[in-house]
Amino acid sequence: MLKEMVEALKKQSVQKVHVSYEATNKLVSAFSHLRFREDSEWLNVREWLGNVVKHSLNDEVIHSIQGFKSDDEQCALIIRGLPVDSHLCATPYNGYVPPSKIPLAIAIHIGIYQLAGIEPVSYQNENKGLLFRHVVPALNALNEKSSHGSTFTFGHHVDNPDLPLACEPVTERSGCPEFLSLMALRSDLKVRSNFILLDDLIAQLSHGVVNELCQPNYRINRPDSFGQSRSSRLPVLIIGEDGTMLCRYDKENTTPLTESAAAALVMLEAQLQNELLKQLVVYQPGDLLIIKNQRLLHSREGFKSRSDGADRWLVRMFGMSSLERIVPALPEYKHIGKD
C-alpha cells in the first residue's frame, strides 16, 4: 500500500517531456552561431532566446515549461532530447568554459528560463558570480563531498541553504535560489542521481519530528562552492504563510545543536534512505532537469573519474521567481546577489 501511495505522489509531482527531432534542428540552426562571452550579453538577448525556444518546441513541451513555476504540485520537470553543442571541448576539470564555447547549452538554458518566467541569478561569492557552474569531477577535489567531487556520494541537499528561504525576509543577503537546473552535456550511465520530494518526505515523519525540525537548533554551514565560510543557526524546515513546507537541509553542512534536534535529524536522515521515496535520474546528453530547490532534495552517487577528458559534465544555473529576492552586489548587474 505504501509503495502504491508513493508512486501516485510521484506521478503528480514530476513531469517528463521530450523534444522532437524537428525542434532540435530549429534550435541548432538558431543558436549555434552565437558567440557572446559575458553572462550579461546573454541576458541582454534573453527575450529573443525565449521566443526562439517557444517557436521551436511543440505545444505540450511549451505548456509544461510555462506552467511549471506556478504549479504547486510540480516540483521537478525533466526535458529530454535537447540538442548539445557539437565539437565539445574536453570536460573542463578546472570548472570553467567561456559561454561562447557552448552557445547551444547557454542559449537553450536561458531561453527555457525566459519561457518559464524564471529569472536567472547567481551569487557574488559562489562560483565567482558566474551564472553557469560546470558540474564536473575537478581533479583537485575528487574526494570532496560537493558538486566538484566524485569519489564519494554527494548527500541529499538543498543548494545555498544558509540563505533566506522564500518565506523568510531578505535584508542584507539575497534569498536562497528557488529554482535550480542541470543540463547534461556528457553523461556517465553508471552514475545515478536521485531526488526526494519534500512533501513525500514529510508524510513519513511524525508531527513531533517535523516540529523539532522547524526549531532554529541547527548549524547550517555555507557550502564549499562559496569562496568564503559562514555558519548560521537556523531551522531545517520552515512553514510558509500558505502552509507550504520549505527545506534547507544539506547532508554535508547541517549539524544539530541540541539532543532533541539530533534525534529529529536521525529520523529525517533515516527516511532519506527510504528507497520508495527516491526518484532516480541517469542523465543523458541533452537532458535538462529543473527543480524547485527548496521543495526537493537531490543527491548523486559516488563514481570514479577517468580523467580522460570525456567525464560526466553537467551545466547548472539558479533561478528566482522575481529579482526582488536578490540584493544586487553591483548596481549594473541586478542578477548577481549579495550573499
pLDDT in the model for residue 9: 47
pLDDT in the model for residue 148: 54
pLDDT in the model for residue 11: 45
Residue 8 included in any domain? no
How far apart CA 295 and CA 276 sit, in angstroms, is: 18
18 annotated as ligand-binding = no
Residue 260 included in any domain? no
pLDDT in the model for residue 284: 96
pTM over 0.85: yes
Q: 297 - beta bridge partners? A: 196
Residue 229 included in any domain? no
pLDDT at 26 over 70: yes
Give 165-211 pLDDT, tens digit per residue. Answer: 999 999 999 999 999 999 999 999 999 999 999 999 999 999 999 99
User: How many independent structural domains does the chain possess?
Assistant: 1
**DSSP 3-state of 179:** strand
Q: 298 - beta bridge partners? A: 157, 195
**DSSP 3-state of 101:** helix
Q: Considering only 117-126, 146-155, 257-266, which range has the smallest mean pLDDT?
A: 146-155
Residue 1 included in any domain? no
Phi and psi (nearest 5°) for 282? -115, 110
Phi and psi (nearest 5°) for 19? -95, 135
pLDDT in the model for residue 125: 93
Q: Which residue has the cell 532554529?
A: 216
Note whether 157 and 299 are within 8 A (CB). yes
pLDDT in the model for residue 21: 97
Give 250-299 pLDDT, tens digit per residue. Answer: 999 999 999 999 999 999 999 999 999 999 999 999 999 999 999 999 99
Residue 305 included in any domain? yes
- Which residues, at least 6 apart from 59, have a Cβ–Cβ distance to it below 8 Å? none
Range of the domain at 22: 14-199+281-337
Residue 134 included in any domain? yes
Residue 178 included in any domain? yes
What number is the average pLDDT over the span 81-93?
A: 95
CATH no. for residue 32? 3.60.130.10
Residue 217 included in any domain? no
